[in-house]
């Protein structure tokens, strides 16, 4: 799938929408989608050198259609856009439960708030006691703010997220990947049958690299099916972190921030 096909498809969708809604300007669509007006105009004027990322395409389509489920957007736009969304969001593009919620992108803007929401998004929810144990007074303060914004609902002592299945941008994912990693139990006296963590690296060829990606995708699909099966709901607040990448895309150490 070439970049030009994706660009042509999203441009066609945008032009068609603006034609059908003459009262809406590019600026209005920009505000609705939270994609910059400059980016939209570059797409419409064929001034984009590289295709928009999957997140940008998702935000534009969600604003145009008011459809938040990625799986439905994949069905609505067969062709290059469908392929791009499927490649970008993988399992989330196949599961009708996952939604794109712009409000969460804005509100889950720090590590503590994100963790609280993730706990509350579990089917069994969470509790004030758990939030206090993990995150202290600051955590309880952030929790109350989420409740005041109706993003978390408290019912009979249990906290539930308003949106249980959602997807966030790559930037938010990368930031909060590190947040969750802080809670990996690395104590020497831990029960080694209760968790698993590895850090693997090596210089490998292209075929091997693609095989690693294939294996991880297959594993993720199986795990997703397991944890989303209603009969497997329980009280263990499970989390898993998966990332496969390489260092060749890093052009300059000046562009990197180390923590």
| Gap between the Cα atoms of 238 and 41, Å rounded | 43
Per-residue model confidence as pLDDT tens digits over 2-32: 568 999 999 999 999 999 999 999 999 999 9
**What domain range includes position 15?**
3-67+79-88
Which long-range contacts link 141-144 to residues 24+ away (Cβ below 8 Å)? 142/110, 142/112, 142/113, 142/116, 143/116
Same domain, 172 and 56: no
**Domain assignment present for 164:** yes
Closest Cα partner for 109 from 26, 189, 172? Answer: 172
Contacts (Cβ under 8 Å, ≥6 apart) of 162: 150, 151, 152, 153
59 and 159, same domain (yes or no): no
Return the higher-pLDDT residue of 61 and 253.
61
SS3 216: helix
- Give the CATH number of the domain where residue 53 resides: 1.10.260
Tell me what pLDDT residue 119 has: 94
Q: Are residues 204 and 131 in the same domain?
A: yes
What lies within 8 Å, CB to CB, of 163 at 6+ separation is 99, 101, 104, 121, 151
**pTM across the whole model:** 0.69
Number of H helices, E strands in the chain: 12, 4
C-alpha to C-alpha distances, 125 to 111, 116, 141, 152, nearest whole angstrom: 18, 10, 18, 10
Query: Do residue 119 and residue 61 come from a single domain?
Result: no
Q: Using one digit for the tens of pLDDT, what is the confidence trace for 31-45?
A: 998 899 999 999 999
Give the residue from 37, 53, 88 where a domain finishes.
88
Q: What is the dihedral of CA 55, 57, 62, 64, to 10 degrees?
A: 160
CB-count exposure of residue 181 (10 Å: 0-12, 13-18, 19+): exposed
**Average pLDDT in the chain:** 87
Structural domain count of the chain:
2
In a shared domain, residues 133 and 175: yes
Does 208 lie in the same domain as 143? yes
133-162 as b/e: b if 16+ CB within 10 A: eebeeebeebbeebeeeebbeeeeeebbbb
User: How far apart are alpha carbons 182 and 180 in whole angstroms?
Assistant: 5
Interval 188-238: pLDDT, tens: 888 888 888 888 889 999 999 999 999 998 898 898 889 888 999 999 988
Confidence at residue 239, expressed as pLDDT on a 0 to 100 scale: 87
Question: Rounded to whole angstroms, how far apart are CA atoms 34 and 249?
Answer: 27
């Amino acid at each position: 799938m070439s970049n030009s096909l994706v660009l042509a498809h999203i441009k066609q969708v945008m032009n068609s929408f603006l034609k059908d809604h003459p009262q809406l300007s590019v600026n209005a669509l920009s505000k609705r989608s939270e994609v910059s007006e400059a980016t939209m105009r570059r797409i419409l004027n064929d001034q984009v050198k590289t295709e928009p990322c999957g997140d940008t395409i998702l935000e534009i389509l969600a604003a145009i259609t008011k459809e938040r489920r990625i799986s439905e957007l994949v069905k609505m736009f067969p062709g290059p856009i469908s392929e791009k969304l499927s490649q970008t969001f993988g399992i989330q593009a196949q599961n009708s439960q996952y939604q794109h919620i712009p409000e969460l992108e804005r509100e889950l803007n720090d590590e503590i708030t994100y963790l609280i929401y993730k706990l509350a998004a579990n089917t069994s929810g969470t509790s004030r006691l758990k939030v206090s144990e993990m995150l202290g007074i600051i955590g309880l303060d952030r929790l109350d703010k989420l409740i005041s914004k109706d993003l978390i609902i408290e019912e009979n002592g249990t906290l539930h997220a308003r949106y249980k299945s959602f997807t966030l941008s790559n930037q938010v994912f990368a930031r909060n990947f590190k947040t969750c990693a802080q809670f990996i139990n690395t104590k020497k006296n831990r029960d080694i049958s209760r968790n698993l963590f590895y850090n693997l690296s090596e210089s490998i060829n292209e075929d091997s690299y693609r095989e690693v990606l294939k294996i991880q995708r297959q594993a993720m699909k199986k795990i997703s099916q397991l944890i989303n099966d209603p009969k497997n709901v329980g009280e263990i607040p499970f989390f898993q972190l998966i990332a496969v990448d390489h260092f060749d895309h890093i052009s300059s150490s000046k562009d990197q921030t180390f923590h």
